[in-house]
Structure 1
Amino acid sequence: MHTQSSSVLILGIGNLLWADEGFGVRCVEALDAAWQFGAEVTVMDGGTQGLYLLPYVTEARRLIVFDAVDYGLEPGTMRLVEDGEVPRFMGAKKMSLHQTGFQEVLASAQMLDRLPESMLLIGVQPVELDDFGGSLRAVVRACIEPAVAHAVARLRRWGVSVEPRADAVLRLNDVALAMDAYEAGRPPPEAACRHGDLRFVTTSGET
């Protein structure tokens, strides 16, 4: 394992547009809005970037990842996975391309002998993924606060400076993607288009 860096990387991965796949991103947004950290900490919406995340992972000594993970458990169940078990769980029962991509990131970091020496995956069993433009289901959304609390506790155990922010505002993404704003613009379930979000779909000939 490499030891040249003392940095900490906190990643939320997933896709906000596909219901519970957005869990990881919503967690890292909530963490960054509520807490501030020492200069050694990088907080990132990793989205579905896959191998583009490799330079960040290989420079980190410690890694925390938020994600929706198919553990084969009851929907809404949160589970923490640590260190050498993290790559195995990221590769099991892949739900989407973003997990394939992040498994490749971890495998590449391991081949380079630059895998973070401490890793924590904070994952929740999703309820619904096949709902384009949909929001987190209630039991998954309820896991955001405890997931963030687990991350804060681990950071403090690692000796990282963690302090409450005076102003809880969205910093990682555009305000239009904030959970409240995003959900306010979503049609009710019975009227929503499951093949696309009509807020972003135009008819033929429109620009």
Structure 2
Amino acid sequence: MNNILLLGIGNVLYADEGVGVHFTNYIKDKYQFSHTEHLLDIIDGGTLAQGLIPLISRYDKLIIVDTVNCTTANPGEVYFFDFDQAPAEIDWQGSAHEVEMLQTLTMMDMVGDRPQTQVLGVVPTVIEPMTLGLTPSLHAAIPLMERTLINYLEQLGFNTKAQTQITIDEVIPDAYKRGGNHATSDSV
């Protein structure tokens, strides 16, 4: 049995920086996942980074949803990659929480307890304080992010079933109530 963690990272008070949190809450609300052998937890990790180490280390596989910085990409471009084989154009010197997450994964590597890690990232448009929501470029990227994640989970053998027709716009207004800067979990 594999324990798999879908972890949304981001600061919902900084516009596009909150996409990881918004996206994982959206997936949690929209889908039901089942598997005969694997367990999937969906967690809003907010901006905790290093505080998540004890939680992350309990899993066999980790899927991080976050913004990524890429000097050659346009806002809204989606990347899905194995953390150990990150594309050369990914620049980890983006936002403060992005750098902290990289440091967290590197520290976990040093002690040998980082799970196999995939990154579902999107290039942000605006990092603007006190703006709850996504810019049009990131909003347009959500369907591709959703298809990419669902395809990956189905390749792992998960049965996926949309249980509601919710949109990400319906999830965003409650983001600060759901987790934001502390981890919340739903096992599926």
Q: TM-score range by the shorter chain?
A: 0.7 to 0.9
Instruction: Please show how residues 117-128 of structure 1 align to structure 2 within 5 Å.
Output: 117=116, 119-128=117-126
For 2:60 and 2:78, the matched residues in 1 are separated by 24
Tell me the residue number matched to 2:85: 85
For 1:104 and 1:87, the matched residues in 2 are separated by 18
Tell me the residue number matched to 1:179: 172
- Correspondence 1:53 to 2:49: no
Deviation of the 1:163 alpha carbon: 2.5
Q: Percent identity over the alignment?
A: 24
Tell me the residue number matched to 2:145: 147
Q: Structure 1: where are the runs of 5+ without partners?
A: 171-176, 183-207
Opposite residue 158 of structure 2, the aligned amino acid is V
- Three-state SS of the structure 1 residue aligned to 2:69 is coil
CA distance 1:43–1:86, shift in 2 (3 Å): farther
Opposite residue 159 of structure 1, the aligned amino acid is G
Q: How many residues align?
A: 170
Pick the aligned partner of 1:23 from 7, 19, 27: 19
8 Å CA contact 2:79–2:121 kept in 1: the answer is: yes
Deviation of the 1:10 alpha carbon: 0.2
Tell me the residue number matched to 2:9: 13
For 1:166 and 1:93, the matched residues in 2 are separated by 35
- Larger RCO, structure (CA 8 Å, separation 6 or more): 2
TM-score (norm 2): 0.78
Opposite residue 84 of structure 2, the aligned amino acid is G
- C-alpha offsets along residues 139-160 of structure 1, whole Å, 9 cap, x if unaligned? 1011112212211111111123
Deviation of the 1:66 alpha carbon: 1.0
Opposite residue 15 of structure 1, the aligned amino acid is N
- C-alpha offsets along residues 84-134 of structure 1, whole Å, 9 cap, x if unaligned? 0359888x34222211221122112212212213x2211111111024224
RMSD: 2.7
Pick the aligned partner of 2:156 from 155, 158, 177: 158
CA distance 1:150–1:169, shift in 2 (3 Å): closer
Q: Structure 2: where are the runs of 5+ without partners?
A: 176-188
For 2:108 and 2:157, the matched residues in 1 are separated by 24
More strand by share: 2
- Three-state SS of the structure 1 residue aligned to 2:128 is coil
Opposite residue 153 of structure 2, the aligned amino acid is L
- C-alpha offsets along residues 10-30 of structure 1, whole Å, 9 cap, x if unaligned? 011011110110111111111
